[in-house]
Amino acid sequence: MDKAYIAVFSIAILFLLVDYFRCRRRRGSGSNNGENKGMLQLPPSPPAIPFFGHLHLIDKPLHAALSRLAERHGPVFSLRLGSRNAVVVSSPECARECFTDNDVCFANRPQFPSQMPATFYGAGFGFANYGAHWRNLRRIATVHLLSAHRVRGMAGVVSGEIRPMVQRMYRAAAAAGVGVARVQLKRRLFELSLSVLMEAIAQTKTTRPEADDADTDMSVEAQEFKNVLDELNPLLGAANLWDYLPALRVFDVLGVKRKIATLANRRDAFVRRLIDAERQRMDNGVDGGDDGEKKSVISVLLSLQKTEPEVYKDIVIVNLCAALFAAGTETTAMTIEWAMSLLLNHPKILKKAKAEIDASVGNSRLINGDDMPHLSYLQCIINETLRLYPVAPLLIPHESSADCKVNGYHIPSGTMLLVNVIAIQRDPMVWKEPNEFKPERFENGESEGLFMIPFGMGRRKCPGETMALQTIGLVLGALIQCFDWDRVDGAEVDMTQGSGLTNPRAVPLEAMCKPREAMSDVFRELL
């Protein structure tokens, strides 16, 4: 027993000594001498504890904890998360400085050991460091997956998937006997988002469910992929302690890395099945048409693979498609779910949006892509939703590749950058009544020039922004056009946020859905 006590005590002393000299070296770099003190001044920092640094201050949701710290320590402050240094930015001016003056410097991603299996060991599109490999992935994505022409063509695909969703919701309401159905929107929105991407990426469709009860309102494919993301995303967003304390990596008693690896394998197997099916179709002479923009994304990439096999390897195709599926399903469904939550709590705004759609589109057909430029108030609702509830409240973390300065502070190389998007977009110095849902603030260009970065900024900005906004607008518009909505039992919708890399609702939204009589001709056509 005495030996065990001595061993534990010795390890504790060792950790404290390492921590002491590390902090001393860090302080020395910040105040080298009188001449360099101002130039190398580090951002302010809360009191830290040995070995752990500021890990004890991390709470869920993380963006809220960081907002509270920013109130005490300013718009730029530093944290020591175990063995990692981090800087948190919470003001528009400082965020703009990070992604303009220091854009290249902050273009890297921190590499977390527990997440390696899910990020293609640091080579994944969203997680790769800035360099030739990432630039090639970005080029392929923007040219072949997210070109302006392809995105415009996607409007028809989205509209085609909206029709069966509306049809199933209408049937669910009819089956309820009273003409009103209680629906969990997230499931149906995820199903639609995945169906759109499967048609665009693999030119295939999900298996349509025949029933409309709560357990079978999703296709087999959507349920499979949703289960993977539901389990994987919280693990990627969690502060796995041994990612920050290397000495603990040998323990991993919860098997986090093994769980992430298993889920990543399931995600990649889903994508590989689509690739193999498309390759088989191409081998059989079915190539999806002569127009490259009408071909599936996988078909285009496999065609390129024949001419440049060293560039378009199978792993690159899996990498890109997995990134598109992960980024384009959960986040799109999440934004529409937040928008509907806000509208249910603000029925006057919902009524105004419905009146705009009725006046511009009418009741004889479903909303389509050509209508979107004429629905300015709907666009205001989407902008206000993204301001209040951005899908990535801290973006994906960045990391500095060289020493730089932010707001006059010295930021050493290798520092993780966390940009608190929610704090920036709810800054009371910028936005009047920042926590209120007021779409009107975006009317007539009143908010033009005010800083918003729900999709990021600079080189690492999300390239799927245009596609996401188009899908969100069409789906949200159709939900408003086709149905009357009400809260369950009249109770206020709980707006509590969940946690993770993304910004889910803590509790999935359920609402009462009633088909509008004014749309009866459209419903008859759908049936």
| Cis peptide preceding 61, ω within 30 of 0 | yes
Residue by residue, pLDDT tens for the chain (527 residues) are 444 443 444 454 555 555 545 545 554 444 343 334 445 899 999 999 998 999 999 888 999 999 999 999 999 999 999 999 999 999 999 999 999 999 999 999 999 988 899 999 999 999 999 999 999 999 988 888 888 888 888 899 999 999 999 999 999 999 887 889 999 999 999 999 999 999 888 888 777 655 544 445 678 888 999 999 989 888 886 667 778 988 877 777 668 888 999 999 999 999 999 999 999 988 887 665 445 556 888 998 999 899 999 888 999 999 999 998 988 899 999 999 999 999 999 999 999 999 999 999 999 999 999 999 999 999 999 999 999 999 999 999 999 999 999 999 999 999 999 999 999 999 999 999 999 999 999 998 888 888 999 999 999 999 999 999 999 999 999 999 999 999 999 999 999 998 878 899 999 999 999 999 999 999 999 88
- What's the one-letter identity of residue 74? G
SS3 content of the chain, % helix, strand, coil (to 5): 55, 10, 35
User: Taking every pair of C-alpha atoms in the chain, what is the biggest distance, in angstroms?
Assistant: 83
Determine phi and psi for 295, rounding to 5 degrees.
-75, 160
Structure tokens that stand for 295 in this block: 């071909």
| 8 A C-beta contact, residue 125 and residue 396 | no
| 8 A C-beta contact, residue 289 and residue 295 | yes
**Which of 330, 318, 338, 461 lies closest to 396, judged by CA?**
461
Residue 85's pLDDT is: 96
Ordered by where they begin, the domains of the chain are 42-526 (1.10.630.10)
Residue 39's pLDDT is: 53
Residue 30's pLDDT is: 45
Other Cβ atoms within 10 Å of 340 Cβ, number: 23
Residue 69: its H or E element: helix 62-73
pTM for the complete prediction?
0.90
Q: How far is CA 488 from CA 177, 345, 353, 412, 485, in A?
A: 17, 11, 21, 51, 10
Count Cα atoms within 13 angstroms, Cβ side, for 72. Answer: 8
List, in sequence order, every residue forming a beta bridge with 53; answer none if it has no partner.
49, 81
Q: 288-292 — which CB contacts under 8 Å span 24+ positions?
A: 288/203
Residue 4's pLDDT is: 44
In whole angstroms, what is the distance from residue 25 CA to residue 17 CA?
12
Residue 287's pLDDT is: 61
Integer distance in angstroms from the first to the last C-alpha of the chain?
76
Structure tokens that stand for 328 in this block: 């384009």
Residue 292's pLDDT is: 54
In whole angstroms, what is the distance from residue 416 CA to residue 398 CA?
6
Residue 213's pLDDT is: 46
Instruction: Name 448's Cβ contacts closer than 8 Å, sequence gap at least 6.
Output: none
The dihedral sign for the CA sequence 255, 256, 260, 266: positive
Instruction: Name 317's Cβ contacts closer than 8 Å, sequence gap at least 6.
Output: 275, 298, 301, 302, 305
SS3 191: helix
Other Cβ atoms within 10 Å of 291 Cβ, number: 8
Is 462 among the annotated ligand-binding positions?
A: yes
